Structure 1
Amino acid sequence: MTNPLPGSAALRETGRMFALALDTVRLTVRRPFQWREFVQQCWFIASVTILPTALVAIPFGAVIALQLGSLTRQIGAQSFTGAASVLAVIQQASPIVTALLIAGAGGSTVCADLGSRKIRDEIDAMEVLGISPIQRLVVPRVLAAMVVALLLNGMVSVVGVLGGYFFNVIMQGGTPGAYLASFSALAQLPDLWISELKAVVFGFLAGVVAAYRGLNPAGGPKGVGDAVNQSVVITFLLLFFVNFVLTALYLQLVPAKGM
């Protein structure tokens, strides 16, 4: 008997993960909804990600502001420093930082929890009793990751913008008025909407990938550990690819605001 091609196994895994995502969306509207599980997962994911996310947002905003401030001084465009740094933080850095923390801290825990349930045969027992594991366990966790990602993205945007403002004005001698004026002149409301949309999509991807790998461990504690590592790596790869697609679509569909 011939072994299957390596690409066929990856294709099957992709198809199963996509099917889990569709089932999650479909079962979201089915009653009864697990409100207690949803609230518990929201609190847990927020508790393990809020402090690291805030601490990471400060250097992200500072690095972007310092780099762009140095560049704009070299080309004589200091008046655009505020707009460039703020747009970079809101559109790119904020959702990426949020998603990385959601996947690394929250998603890995979700994967480990579901994986441990799987190797203890709890998932199989639920199926025997006629309880959908996806509706009971996966849907609340995926929705919690989306909601927490949405809220954390707003916090990261505020912290990153304030950090960029502080480092540009204090360390590089920028003008507060010029920083704020360029930001208000070039930034627009859709910039915030695309940032929040990215955060929601990234939270959904992180939750689905973590749930899929948790429900399909190789077997035993080692298999659960490998599934956690795989979920984080796969999520990171998907995040950067989806971020490129959403950014390209946004730049094509939404015209830039001129001075």
Structure 2
Amino acid sequence: MTAVPMPGPVRGLLSQVGELFVVALEGMRGSFDVRAWWWEFADQCTFLARVTSIPVILVALPLGATVALQVGQLAAQLGAQSATGGAVVVGLVREVAPIAAALVIAGAGGSAMAADMGARRIRDELSAMETMAVNPVHRLVTPRLWAASLISTLLVSLVILAGAAGGFFFNVLLQDVTPGAYFDGALSLLQISDLVVTVFKAWLFGLISAVVACYMGMNCAASPVGVGRAVNRSIVVSFMLVFALNYVITTVYFVAYPPRT
């Protein structure tokens, strides 16, 4: 029985997926040598916090307001305007916060990481580090993994607060819902497990965004055009992985912990 040859595109895709996992595992393996990457980690945290804090707030404010406006109109037709706050805040906590944080990390921070790693590849800095017996994954990728995952986790609170503020403005000031009813509906539906899963999602999505960005930058074509294409690919791939994993995690969570009625 002869083996059927694997098509070239499929083989190439599987090879890239395998290399991506290798970079992720090697980066996590270097986490134990904290002294080697601590200062780079602090620098990356500062950079990511600076470039993502304002954008994520500007994204969450109109997003929460839009959800509140649409849900409020539907709730008004059903005579249940007091439930709008619960729908807005629960939606923010369960789905919007980790997704928005991950997308901002991948778009603002991940693109910068991919460009930085690609520039280092063009200048042969990665090869020079290997020549000096310095593992570039441990020195450069590991701090970026932990910085992106940490900042993504911290951005969740900003998304929830900004989105809730936007929803509060439309619900309370424009649709005459009382503040007590707005927040009471949210607190009655939320569970501790919702917050735990949200934080886990944000941490995982930030980690994935950093892995993809670093991998694309380290394996780009040795030209400015190659760096630009690597940045574009890193953003697209990160978005696809984040949405796919979010669907899987949410499905498993709802099966394990059914929503409170």
TM range (shorter): over 0.9
Matches of 2:80 and 2:18 in 1, distance apart?
Answer: 49
Pairing 1:228-243 to 2, within 5 Å after superposition: 228-243=231-246
Query: Which among 94, 100, 105 is matched to residue 102 of structure 1?
Result: 105
**Pairwise CA distance, 1:256:** 2.3
Correspondence 1:191 to 2:194: yes
Matches of 1:215 and 1:183 in 2, distance apart?
Answer: 44
Query: Which among 117, 122, 131 is matched to residue 119 of structure 1?
Result: 122
- Matching residue of 2:203: 200
- Matching residue of 1:134: 137
Pairing 1:1-259 to 2, within 5 Å after superposition: 5-258=8-261
Cα pair 2:82 2:177 within 8 Å, conserved = no
What SS does the aligned partner of 1:257 have?
Answer: coil
Amino acid at match of 1:191: D
Matches of 2:124 and 2:205 in 1, distance apart?
Answer: 30
Matches of 1:109 and 1:209 in 2, distance apart?
Answer: 12
Matches of 1:204 and 1:85 in 2, distance apart?
Answer: 27
Cα deviations across residues 12-35 of structure 1 (Å, max 9, x unaligned)?
Answer: 111110111111111112354311
| Runs of at least 5 residues in structure 1 that lack an aligned partner in the other structure | none
Amino acid at match of 1:83: G
Tell which deviates more after alignment, 127-136 or 154-163. Answer: 154-163
Q: TM-score, normalised by structure 1?
A: 0.95
Amino acid at match of 1:81: T
| Identity in percent | 45
Cα pair 1:64 1:89 within 8 Å, conserved = no
Cα deviations across residues 205-240 of structure 1 (Å, max 9, x unaligned)?
Answer: 100000000100022111011000000000011111
Tell which deviates more after alignment, 246-255 or 127-136. Answer: 246-255
Cα pair 1:53 1:97 within 8 Å, conserved = yes
Matches of 2:247 and 2:80 in 1, distance apart?
Answer: 27
How many positions carry a matched residue from both structures? 257
| Runs of at least 5 residues in structure 2 that lack an aligned partner in the other structure | none
**Pairwise CA distance, 1:3:** 10
Cα deviations across residues 129-157 of structure 1 (Å, max 9, x unaligned)?
Answer: 11000110000011110111111111111
**Pairwise CA distance, 1:89:** 0.9
**Pairwise CA distance, 1:4:** 5.6
